[in-house]
Chain A
Amino acid sequence: MANYAVSARSLRVVRARNEILHGLDFGIEAGQATGLVGPSGCGKTTLIRAIAGAQRADGELTVLGRPAGHPELRREVAYAAQSGAIYLDLTVEENIRYFAAILRAPRGDVDRVITEVDLGTSRGALAGQLSGGQRSRVSLAVALLGTPRLLLLDEPTVGLDPVLREDLWTLFGRLRDSGITLLVSSHVMEEAARCDKVLLMRDGSLLAHDTPAGLRERTGATDLDQAFLRLVAGGGPAAPEPAGSRA
């Protein structure tokens, strides 16, 4: 039996009478990098927030052996939201120092994470004056503080140039190799090819959960974009979406 970092059984999220996640069943294996892909508004962010404990959910959701949102998980699960969630009126370093103090991260951690996301040259700059890509790297740096066992990254590479994106995926690979479990969402299918496993979502349901190679093989597609389209056309297990729902 696989060792799951996250396992969900009939996971449902209902917000303002809209069902956003329609009873998901899946397991994310520990020590792997899993890509969470699907079109905008399919429920990726809601799923990540539920795993982070920031969104109430029905059904069973176990994270590192405990129910999602358990106080013990606040040190072990690191969540970087898509919106950045950093203080724009503080410098890069001040942001990271503050969150490091909250997490009681060791002293050298501030310098370590700044180096890891390659923000050394702008550590004294106000976060509000950075580009969108730089801001999301500050947010990522905060998520790397301390010793998280599970990293939840919501669209960390959005708005980044190809070189930086490549760097980040190399970093994700390194983190995975050091034993951290990663769940990385993206609406770019090709990025998921860098992961061990891919969770394919559409309209609040899971379309597929497989290795990138497995997905291509199953659909006979050459790339994941095509694989996704074929899965949709093949009438995957997607439930009809209630009117007006969005993640």
Chain B
Amino acid sequence: MIATTERVLRQLRHDPRTVVLLIAVPTLLMVLLRFVFDSAAEFARIAPALLGIFPFLLMFLITSIATLRERTSGTLERLMTMPLPKLGLLTGYGTAFGLVALVQVAVTSGVSLWLGLTVAGPIAWLLVVTLLDALLGVGLGLLASAFAKTEFQAIQLMPVVVLPQLLLCGLFQPRDEMATVLQWISNVMPVSYAVEALQFVAANPAVGADFARDLAVLAGFAAASVLAASATLRRQTR
């Protein structure tokens, strides 16, 4: 597993442009958002939700493309003929991208705080939620790559997986003001819990049971998607 983590990070090191994009894009989007609102108060209201969406989206995208490349280049087939546990490969990927996500969310959150995001609760919890959220993107990206045969298809899975969650996560309309059916759908979408937890930590000085539940749901979804992704890896083709 560690060998895979190291290998994925080495691949990224040979691709500095991707690293810069990964770290800089969510940060620049937050800066853009701040100037769109032109008011620190308005920014502080909406920023927590977006902090749950940008890292998720980016990690989903790069993970699904990276694993798809592994499938199409033949390296996955080669690894599958070697003594490497399937879950070890995926957790290796998860750890590598998790480390990248850690840097990404630290920079993005830091800049957001500087731009006027106010956090009533402990900042550490803000980082924990965004990291879990990014890991969720990694897990779902690993899983999604199984349903794409080409990079063309993989890109199109992004709107399928990400955009409905963006619409229903409570960013545009508070979740309890949506139609009941939409609330149900929103309730089974993991990003809703990330946004809820981020809004909670931004507004409340102390975290409670609801917050713990949100974290558990996020972690559970991330772990389940990695396990499901591992089930889609086949050592033999039919």
Number of interface residues of B (CB under 8 A): 23
Of chain A, the residue at the smallest CB distance from B10 is A94
Chain A CB within 8 A of B213 CB: no
Q: State A74–B6 Cα separation when bound (angstroms).
A: 22
- Which of B46-54, B55-63, B75-83, B93-101 is the contact stretch? B75-83
**Residue in A84, A90, A102 whose beta carbon sits within 8 Å of that of B83 in the complex:** A102
Chain B CB within 8 A of A89 CB: yes
Q: State A69–B235 Cα separation when bound (angstroms).
A: 8
Q: State A87–B237 Cα separation when bound (angstroms).
A: 21
Chain A CB within 8 A of B7 CB: yes
Q: Which residues of B contact A229 (CB under 8 A)?
A: none
Chain B CB within 8 A of A144 CB: no
Chain A CB within 8 A of B15 CB: yes
Q: State A90–B15 Cα separation when bound (angstroms).
A: 10
Closest CB in chain A relative to B57 CB, distance in Å = 23
Q: Which residues of A contact B77 (CB under 8 A)?
A: 54, 81, 85
Of chain A, the residue at the smallest CB distance from B15 is A89
**Residue in B79, B84, B236 whose beta carbon sits within 8 Å of that of A69 in the complex:** B236
Q: Which residues of B contact A94 (CB under 8 A)?
A: 7, 10
B74 touches A83 (CB 8 A): yes
Of chain A, the residue at the smallest CB distance from B3 is A101
Of chain B, the residue at the smallest CB distance from A80 is B78
Number of interface residues of A (CB under 8 A): 32
B7 touches A98 (CB 8 A): yes
A89 touches B83 (CB 8 A): no
Closest CB in chain B relative to A220 CB, distance in Å = 41
Q: Which residues of A contact B236 (CB under 8 A)?
A: 53-56, 69
B7 touches A87 (CB 8 A): yes
Chain B CB within 8 A of A79 CB: yes
**Residue in B3, B14, B78 whose beta carbon sits within 8 Å of that of A89 in the complex:** B14
Q: Determine which residue in B7, B15, B80, B238 has the highest number of CB atoms from chain A within 10 A of its CB, and name it.
A: B7
Of chain B, the residue at the smallest CB distance from A57 is B236
Residues of chain B whose beta carbon lies under 8 Å from any beta carbon of chain A: 3-4, 6-7, 10-11, 14-15, 73-75, 77-84, 235-238
Write 17 A-B pairs (CB below 8 A) sorted by A numbering. Answer: A15-B237, A52-B81, A54-B237, A71-B83, A74-B82, A75-B83, A77-B81, A81-B77, A83-B73, A84-B73, A87-B75, A88-B73, A90-B10, A91-B14, A98-B7, A104-B83, A142-B78
Residues of chain A whose beta carbon lies under 8 Å from any beta carbon of chain B: 15, 49, 52-56, 69, 71, 74-75, 77, 79, 81, 83-91, 94, 98-99, 101-104, 126, 142
Nearest 7 A/B pairs, CB to CB: A85-B74, A101-B3, A85-B78, A74-B83, A98-B7, A83-B74, A56-B236
Q: A15-B238, A55-B236 provided; 19 other pairs, C-beta below 8 A? A: A49-B237, A53-B236, A54-B81, A54-B236, A71-B83, A74-B83, A79-B78, A81-B74, A81-B78, A84-B74, A85-B73, A86-B73, A89-B14, A90-B11, A90-B14, A94-B7, A103-B82, A103-B83, A126-B14
